Each structure stands twice: as structure tokens, then as C-alpha cells.
Amino acid sequence: MDVQQIDLLFDGYHITSNKALMHVDQVHEWLSKHSYWAVNIPYGIVEISFKHSFTVGILKDKEQVGYARLITDYAVFSYLADVYVKEEHRGKGLSKIMMQAIMELDWVKGCRRLMLATRDAHELYRKYGFTDLADPGKIMVVSNTTQYGT
């Protein structure tokens, strides 16, 4: 399957979906120590999720300064997860450029449903068409938070 990719330069940053340029160890470092949703996540879990997702990285001088991944079948459903930009690189429009690049992919536009969960970035995601669930009573979940503590 030939999946449309992301590769663009923005103000000295490289935003790419090329996994060969990304640094799973740096993604793990940030997620396990700085995210509110994956504190203490084991490296192996991050590595597996990286391999089996469509990933987008923001690189500055080969350092991983931002990241997002879509868990997807590339046709019907995508779930946006693990989105971050390191604190010292925030305020430069990087999350907006990354989200715009993701949302402009033809296969993303073709997905029937895109979902995400966020504690504090609702307004960012609303700019890209995300809304609150119309009928949250239809959505169900199994939460196994004993895996790594969150």
C-alpha cells in the first residue's frame, strides 16, 4: 500500500513522517517523563506503538522536538495520539503546522472517523474539525491502566 507521506521544512524545522529520521528513544524519553498520559511507559511499548502507527516527527538539528502518531487502518478510522512539542520549542506554530500537514493528507481526509483524547488542547484541535462527541453514551472503553501507571 502506497501511503501519502509528510516531508516539509518550516522555519528551520523538519516535519516528516519518515520513520528512519525519527528517534524512538527521544520520543520515549519525553512521553515517559513529561507527558500526563504516559508517565513511566516502558520503552518497548513506545517502540511497538511507533512501528505500528503512522508517525510524524518534528526535528531540529536531528533532535526530536515534536511528535504525533495516528493509529489507523488508512481508510475508515484514525486515532490521534501522543502529540507533543517540547516546551522550549512551543509558541512557534509547530503544533499547528504538524496538525495541518496531517489533516491535509488525502487518506486522512477520507477516513470516516478521526478521534483523540485531550485534557487541555481542545481549542487547538477544534481548529482542525474535531468536536465533542455528539452522543458520548455510544462510546465505550476498556481501560487497563495497571500496565505502567497512568
* Ranges under pLDDT 50 in the chain: none
Mean pLDDT of the chain: 94
CA distance 82 to 104: 19
CA-atom Rg of the chain in angstroms: 15
Per-residue pLDDT tens digits for 72-107: 999 999 999 999 999 999 999 999 999 999 999 999
**How far from the centroid of its chain's Cα atoms is residue 84's Cα?**
7
CA distance 6 to 29: 24
Question: Taken in order 143, 64, 90, 113, is the CA torsion positive or negative?
Answer: negative
- Tell me which CATH code domain 7-138 carries: 3.40.630.30
Q: What are phi and psi of 64, to 5 degrees?
A: -80, 110
Identify the pLDDT of residue 144. Answer: 79
Predicted TM-score (pTM) of the model is 0.92
